[in-house]
Amino acid sequence: MFKINNSEIGKYLSRLIKDQYSSDRRFCIEYLKLRDDRNDVENSDDIQKMQNRICQINKGNKRIQIDDLPIFSELLGVSIENILSAGTSTVPATNRKSNYLIAHSKDPDEWKSYIARDDKLILNPDEYNKTAIDYALECENYDFLRYLISEEYIWFVGNDEKEYCGAWDYKNQYFSSFGADTKIERRKIGNHDALGSHMKEQADLRFKMISLAIKHKDIKMLDRLHAREFPMLYTITPFSPSILKNTKLPDSDDLNHMIRNIAAGENEILSYFLEEFQIMPAHRYFVFPYAGQVLDALIRQKRNSECKRFLKQAIHRNKQIQNKLEKLVDTAKTNIKHAYDDVYSDEIAEKEIWNQYYFYRDTGFFSYHTPPILKNNVKSFIANVIHITETSNDSEVKYLIDELNETYDIFVRYYEKKKA
């Protein structure tokens, strides 16, 4: 049993804040971040208001509010009973080292100890439904996240392609899985310790991590995160046009933030995201599906030097893909003429050759395979091409924009010709 004494509570809190934070102001900043769930509080007018309130609480002139208690408990690592009793009733705080605090820690020894805890706090969300990974991404503790990934405690992309999937559900919400998981061992207590499931279900966690890797210019990490890729690229094939037809690209605030970070990046980052890459098996040639949006952003930013360089690169790449398609079509024509010249007229042969060409303007993807009647000579490939929507007052940039979109329109016209 204890009595609440505002003066003693104030002295107790003042001592805790002094021991754990560099100043009342720093404590107030962390308080506002946690209370309002945002990071941009450094210049907020609320800081001074909070400092004034803390000063009055510390002097015993003002009573701590009920709403303050869980936040003070979290930030100071003591129980609510400890606070109300001014430290005389020492009930241990169950989460003295909490997800929030460990996510802000810069100490590798603290990280290791937290991971090794028997109660597995790191595998569970806290009372705010946030894991240590969520908090670390919010406060941009890149060293902690890189440690977890490099030591393979967590991964955002797994090695088993069978786990890769991407789709929109009946609520029009995007779900994807790149096989994210953790090796931190769960306790044998039913459905708790669900960090692995949390990571699988939250595609935006990877987008946030990619944004951090971009800021740190960490190309190796971008490779590890498959930053240019999406799970759908592993599931679409030239022989399943219905899958491609129903494929929609993901869309979220975190993804759009990632795209803006790419466009704001230096040339090394831009090159990484705007270069072609292949996914095995062969004959799948892709560029970052949002390459057009990145170029649009560069144009809006009037980064004309970068615009010219990467527009030329995009034009060259679209033309290369066009050449691959036309070469495959020409091969099909030759083979059909050789095998079926006495069966098909030129008109029917032309239709047969283009029958398996599919183009989807919503995503810029297309697929093609030569006619099945060629049997063992059937060839195929799948790719995406780039187009943009912005324009420019710079004459050279505008010329390159028009040229790029013309290379894109060729694929559109081929498809319209097929349907005619």
Report how far residue 69's alpha carbon sits from residue 76's, in angstroms, rounded to the nearest whole number.
10
Question: Is it the case that residue 343 has pLDDT exceeding 60?
Answer: yes
For 236-270, b/e burial (b = at least 16 CB within 10 A) is: bbbeebeebeebebbeeebbeebbbbbbbbeeebb
Mean pLDDT value across the chain: 88
As a whole number of angstroms, the distance between CA 257 and CA 208 comes to 8
- Tokens at residue 153, please? 């405690």
Produce one character per residue of 91-116: b if its CB has 16 or more CB atoms within 10 Å, e if not: eebebebbbbbbbbbeeeeebeebbe
Three-state DSSP class for 165? strand
What pLDDT band is residue 264 in, cutting at 50, 70 and 90?
very high
Helix axes 267-274, 304-340, angle to 10 degrees: 20
- State the pLDDT at residue 258: 97
Ramachandran assignment for 403, one of left (phi > 0), alpha (psi -120 to 50 degrees), beta (any other): alpha
* Non-local CB neighbours of 146 within 8 Å, separated by 6+ positions: 218, 221
Please write the tens of the pLDDT for every residue from 148-160. Answer: 999 999 999 998 8
Spatial distance between the Cα atoms of 285 and 277, rounded to a whole number of angstroms? 6
Concatenated DSSP letters of 61-103: SSPPPTTHHHHHHHHHT--HHHHHTTTSS-PPPTTSS-HHHHH
Q: Residue 95: which pLDDT band, with cuts at 50, 70 and 90?
A: very low
pLDDT of residue 358: 94
Please, which residues have CB within 8 angstroms of residue 412's CB and are 6 or more apart in sequence? 359, 361
Quote the CA–CA distance of 138 and 208 in Å, as a whole number. Answer: 9
Q: Smallest Cα–Cα separation from 348: which of 338, 359, 333, 326?
A: 333
| CA Rg value for the chain | 28
- DSSP letter, residue 186: P
Coil, helix or strand at residue 229? coil
Task: Round to whole Å and give the CA distance between 326 and 407.
Answer: 13
- CATH number for the segment(s) 1-93: 1.10.260.40
Angle between helices 6-20 and 68-76 (to 10 degrees): 40
Contact 183, 158 (CB under 8 A): no
pLDDT average, residue stretch 390-397 = 97
Nearest to 113 by CA among 127, 125, 101: 101
Q: What is the pLDDT of residues 313-338, one digit of tens each?
A: 999 999 999 999 999 999 998 888 88
Q: How confident is the model at residue 87 (pLDDT cuts 50, 70, 90)?
A: confident
DSSP string of 400-417, one letter each residue: HHHHHHHHHHHHHHHHHH
Give the start-to-end residue ranges of the domains of the chain: 1-93, 97-227, 233-419
Question: Interior CA angle at 271 toward 269 and 273, to 5°?
Answer: 70
pLDDT confidence tier of residue 274, bands split at 50, 70 and 90:
very high
Q: Which residues of 294-333 are buried (b: 16+ CB within 10 A; e: fewer)?
A: bbbbbbeeebeebbbbbbebbbebbeebbeebeebbeebb
**76 Cβ contact partners less than 8 Å away, ≥ 6 residues apart:** 13, 16, 17, 20, 83
pLDDT (tens digit, 9 = 90+) per residue, 110-156? 999 999 988 888 998 887 788 999 999 999 999 999 999 999 999 99
* Full-model pTM: 0.75
Distance in angstroms (rounded) separating the CA atoms of residues 261 and 270: 10
Stated length of the chain: 420
Considering only residues 318 and 83, tell me which one the structure prediction assigns the higher pLDDT.
Answer: 318
Query: What phi and psi, each to the nearest 5 degrees, are found at residue 409?
Result: -65, -25
Q: Hey, is 355 helix, strand or coil?
A: coil
